[in-house]
Every structure is written in structure tokens, then in C-alpha cells.
Amino acid sequence: MRQTSDSAALDASSIFADFQLAARPAVIAAVSGGSDSLSLLFLLDAFLETHAPATRLVAVTVDHGLRAESAEEAAIVARLCAARGIVHRTVRWTGEKPASGLPAAAREARYELLASAAQAEGTDCVLTGHTLDDQLETVAMREARGDGRGLAGMAPATLFDGRVWILRPLLGLSRAALRGWLAEHGITWVDDPTNVDEKYERARVRAAAGDGGGPREAAATIASAASARLHLGEQAAGAIRAHARWAAPGLVAIDRSLWDHPNPKALYAMRIVLAVLGGTPHLPDAGASAMLLTRMPTERFRATLSRVVIDAAADAVLLHRERRGLPAAAAPAPGAIWDGRFRLGELPHGTSVAPVGRDVAREMVSGAQPPSQAILPRATPRVATEALAAEPALWRDQEFAGLATEAGLARRIIAPWARFLPSFDLAPAEAIAALIRADLPPKPPLARHNPGRG
């Protein structure tokens, strides 16, 4: 996004120019009462009044219930909104809080509550007040963990849970500039004490950064990393579309020609396919994947990585979910994720979901009960049987009652991006979704053609 450090230069028309908000009946502004979110709220209000008067602004405050002061802080935001004629809602994170991993759990809860609030208002847009300071801290934390792809920072738009876009219009603005703008307009804010509590990683990174560090140079480095991530994703998407085929239910065949010249795009494409077929939330280890990659051009072998069997046959590499570690029979609630690979619908009464299993799969592949999706010649009956055995099936009283996918009760998902899909990664997400017959992600509400460059 555009970077500005002078509060006098803050212009709502410029800040929100990259986002398509006028077509939405409403937008949600996530407002905690801190300086960043209040700046977002009032700048957004000014923008909508001029450029999208038909779009309703709804401020939503998430009360995590972690501090005694949080309820009063939500009330302060409510009063500020009422004074300016802005609709306000407070939503609360109820129930038990985890003893460990609290920041991550609170983040998940916050986005879930904001997404539900957005859907209640008939919109798919939630705007947050993440700033350049937050971006620099995020990249510092990811760099410390060795997360190379994460050096691109937070994307300007991220799809949450496949249903709501989280938009970050302030990523190019410093906190100092925003606070200067609020002061000029006589607006006070609340300081959350957890922001300086060094038992949390972000607060420690913030304290270590201090007030120096060359934010403009760092922002330029982040922008370069984002551009590189976008480019690699586009290349991997092209490789998936050109070389990968859906060979049979649960089975992907990749032409060996993809690996004639091992390169980053081939490695990234393979890691994506492995994560999606294995139902894992993270891409497999790059080093282990690269070792397999070097064997692809010439060797015939069989290996397992990221819960996926890699069967390097003569003309193609065949990949499918291994049968170990599959879920036991159960009847989960609608919307539950099965094995990291499928989202379930409402099951018929008296049925459960469990893997097809080898015996039923062998009968289906041999022709006794042929699946509706044809098996390509390159997929041998043995491999097709193994792949099908790991697919979800409906069972009634120990009797096979059909493939859950054929009944429309299990929809494939793209595991690494099922919860959070940054706009950086839209191209490979679309390519892999098309390959495995999953729903395509919706287009982000970004005005520019390229969905990741800010």
C-alpha cells in the first residue's frame, strides 16, 4: 500500500482507492478504541460519505473478555460512534480461554466474530487498522522463525474461512502519522496494556525495534518480497495447470516433464499439491521436497511426504493421500472439516463418514461399482484403489452407502489456504482448486489488477 509518514498528507480518497467498497451494501470496520482502529474508522467514514454513500458503515468491537477494562473500552467506542451517527456493535468472545497459545486463539476468535458480524450485515468486507508498524513487526517475527514466504508481510486483502475478505488499507501508514492525524482532529484513543506486555512475542519485537530501524527501507524490502511471492505463485499456478491432471478420485498425476529442469516454480507447485492432497495446513518442508525433486527426472520410486504417497511411475508422478492416520467413523456437525481435505454438509440421519477403505475401493475400481469420474489409463488399478480408499464415504450400520463427494456431502478444500488465503497466493490457490474440483475462491475487492502489490 502507499506509504505516508506525514499526518497532514493523510487523504481518505487515496488511502481507500485500491478497494472496491461502493458495490457492497455494507462494510465492517474492526474498532478496538486504539489509535490505529479509530483512524481507520473516521477515515473510512469520510471516504464512504464522499465516494460510496450507499454503503453502510458498521463499527464492530470485539471484547475478548481478557481484561476487566475491555467492556468499558467497547462502551467508549460505542459512544464515539453514536456521536458521529455510525452504527456500532460489540461482539464478545465467550467460553473458556486456552492456558497456552492465547494470542493465536484470540486472533482466530476475533476474525471468526468479525466474519459472523459481516455476514449478518450482508457483506464480505471487514477492514482492520493494521499499520506499517504492524507490518514491520510481523515480518520481524516471521524472519525469526525462518518463514521465507512470510517476509512478504500481511497482504492488503486476505480471505478468511472462504467467506469474508479482511482488508488492510493502512499498511503503508505509520502509527505516528495516524496519531498525529487524530490529535489534529481532537480524537483521543485507548492504549491497550497488552501491546507493551513482553510476555507476548509481538510486544517483545516492538520493544526491541524501538523508534528507529529505517521503516521506509524496510517497507521497500517487504514490497520486493511480496512481488517475488506473487511472481512465484503465478509461475507455480501455470505449472499446475500445464502439468497436473486429476487422474481418478483422490489421485493427481503430474507429468515428469515438469521436473526436467528442477526450479523454484516446480518445487513450489509440488509442495502445494502435496499439502492439498495430504490435507495439511502448512506446505511440506522445502528441503525434503527438494530432495524428492532431484529424483523426479530419472528415477522410479515410491515415497511418502506430508501424508501423501508419491509414486514415480514411468510417464508420470502419481500422488494421493496415504491410508495411515485417516479419521475414524463419526457424524460431525455440518461445516466440520474432515481430514483437512473436505468440508462436510449435513449427513443423512443414521449415517456416518469414514474412509472408503481398500475392499470397497477395489470393487469400485474393478468395475463392480464404478465411480462416476473416469480413471485415466495412466492410473493403474492398484494406485487408483489406494487413492479411492482414502476418500470419504457414507456408512450406515457398517454398510457402504456411497461416496460422500458424489452425494454432495463432502466438498474439497485447499488445506493450506482454507482458513487464511492472502491475496498474494490467489493464483496458485485458484489453480489447485480447479485441479482438485474444489470451489474457486472469490475475487478480492481490490481495484488494481494485481491482487497483492500495494
The residues that bridge with 316 in the sheet, in sequence order, are: 255
The residues that bridge with 165 in the sheet, in sequence order, are: 125, 159
Task: Kindly report, residue by residue over 133-143, the tens digit of the pLDDT.
Answer: 999 999 988 88
The span from the CA of 21 to the CA of 12, in Å, is: 13
- Nearest CA to 336 out of 323, 352, 357 is that of 352
**Residue 377: pLDDT above 50?**
no
Burial 363-391 (b: 16+ CB within 10 A, else e): ebbeeeeebebebeebbbeebbbbbbbbb
Question: Which domains can be identified in the chain, with CATH numbers?
Answer: 7-214 (3.40.50.620), 225-321+422-436 (no CATH), 337-412 (no CATH)
Residues 434, 437, 438, 442, CA torsion sign: positive
DSSP secondary-structure letter at 324? T
- Model pTM score: 0.89
Predicted pLDDT of residue 336: 96
Percent of the chain with pLDDT over 90: 71
Q: 63 and 45 in contact (C-beta within 8 Å)?
A: no
DSSP secondary-structure letter at 26? E
Q: 231 and 428 in contact (C-beta within 8 Å)?
A: no
Task: Kindly report, residue by residue over 71-127, the tens digit of the pLDDT.
Answer: 899 999 999 999 999 999 999 998 888 888 888 899 999 999 999 999 999 999 999
61's enclosing H/E stretch is strand 56-63
Task: Kindly report, residue by residue over 25-68, the tens digit of the pLDDT.
Answer: 999 999 999 999 999 999 999 999 999 999 999 999 999 878 77
